[in-house]
Amino acid sequence: MAEHLSQSELDYPFRLLEYVHGFQLSQVIFSACELGVFDLLLGAPGPLSAQHVSQELGTSLDGTERLLDALVGIHILDVEKTGGAAVYSSTEVANLYLARGSAKSLHAMILYQAQTIYPLWSNMPDAIRKGKNQNEKTFGLPPEEIFQAIYRSEEEMLKFMGMMNSSWVLDGHDIATAFNLSGFERIVDLGGCTGALAREMAKAYPSSSVTVFDLPEVVEAAKKHFSLEDDAVAFQSGDFFSGEIPAADLFVLARIIQDWTEEKCLALLRKIYHLCKPGGGVLLVEVMLFENRRGPFMAQISSLNMLVRTAGRERPPSQYSHMLNQAGFHNVQICRTGKTYDAILATR
């Protein structure tokens, strides 16, 4: 049986206090990423004093010292105190995930959380009161104009794309191999953004063709800022609601259903169903709720995130199955990867 916080915390509310201060913990990581602490420590020949860090970063000594200590407190940095002087060094986790240049860097995701998501979440009570996003109040846009709000400037669009890109560094391979998709010759990733997940698909299924389909401005930016030499994926632009969708044997919809109302999702799934030949399929990739409403916490907070900024929500597998069946698809298979994102495959 699940342990209830209220019972374990009656003597002293340790976890509760950590939760209440959770935003401050996030800000410690956000600030260190924004200031370049992890990049500096990664590139340094050895541990550095707070004074050295503050000189290199152009920050106050007092503030830097407090930040470095807090990073030690959450085990992201290490400290050694010999005599009177303290020297700080990075940990393997910080080098791998927090430094900007590392192959598995989450830097872009963290900056987006810090600069875009964090201010939005201060509107959460209002979003919950009204049951809708804040696009009208914040940007003067109708609540359904999701991507006009998200892409309100080129800078915001590029930051969003960077954030989307970095998730697949962690989960891309597990999603691409959640099912054996080698029988699908033409794969189209609808709303495929930078092509990060599509590249994982191309790596896992080298004899399939993989195309990323997205809005024209996104495709242009993806080619300019995120494409690779000898890129294994092709790009095509259009609008999956109002325009033509390219033919495929498998359509991937990763983090697409989460953005829209049930009505719009069904319209899109029906459109895809009619494009599929018998045996053709659709792969949904989402962070899936448990049926018993007990988690995962990442899915529950993602659902709140969808409330503040989109017209959608997160769902448990039964709701995806129902939607897919309503659109005409059969053989719905669910794969929980054990990581953040899960996959659902259905065929016509």
Ligand X SMILES: C[S@@+](CC[C@H](N)C(=O)[O-])C[C@H]1O[C@@H](n2cnc3c(N)ncnc32)[C@H](O)[C@@H]1O
- Interface ranges with ligand X (CB under 6 A): 147, 164, 191-193, 197, 214-215, 218, 239-241, 254-256, 259
Residue nearest to ligand X (CB): 191
159 within 8 A of 221, measured Cβ to Cβ: no
State the minimum distance, in angstroms, from the CB of residue 160 to ligand X: 8
CB nearer ligand X, residue 2 or residue 103: 103
Structure tokens at 112: 């987006």
State the minimum distance, in angstroms, from the CB of residue 35 to ligand X: 27
Which residues, in sequence order, are bridge partners of residue 79?
88
Q: How far apart are CA 45 and CA 63, in angstroms?
A: 23
CB nearer ligand X, residue 48 or residue 283: 283
> Could you please report the per-residue DSSP string of 120-157?
HHTTHHHHHHHTS-SHHHHHS--TT-HHHHHTSSHHHH
Q: Which element (helix H / strand E) includes 166?
A: helix 154-176
State the minimum distance, in angstroms, from the CB of residue 125 to ligand X: 24
CB nearer ligand X, residue 38 or residue 160: 160
State the minimum distance, in angstroms, from the CB of residue 246 to ligand X: 11
CB nearer ligand X, residue 309 or residue 348: 309
CB nearer ligand X, residue 50 or residue 272: 272
Q: How far apart are CA 175 and CA 186, in angstroms?
A: 17
CA angle 213, 219, 225 (to 5 degrees): 135
State the minimum distance, in angstroms, from the CB of residue 65 to ligand X: 38
CB nearer ligand X, residue 35 or residue 284: 284
CB nearer ligand X, residue 127 or residue 343: 343
**DSSP H stretches of helix in 208-283:** 216-221, 262-275
| Nearest to 321, CA basis, from 257, 244, 240, 251 | 257
State the minimum distance, in angstroms, from the CB of residue 68 to ligand X: 33
Which residues, in sequence order, are bridge partners of residue 252?
189, 283
Is 281 strand, coil or helix?
A: strand
54 within 8 A of 64, measured Cβ to Cβ: yes
State the minimum distance, in angstroms, from the CB of residue 147 to ligand X: 5
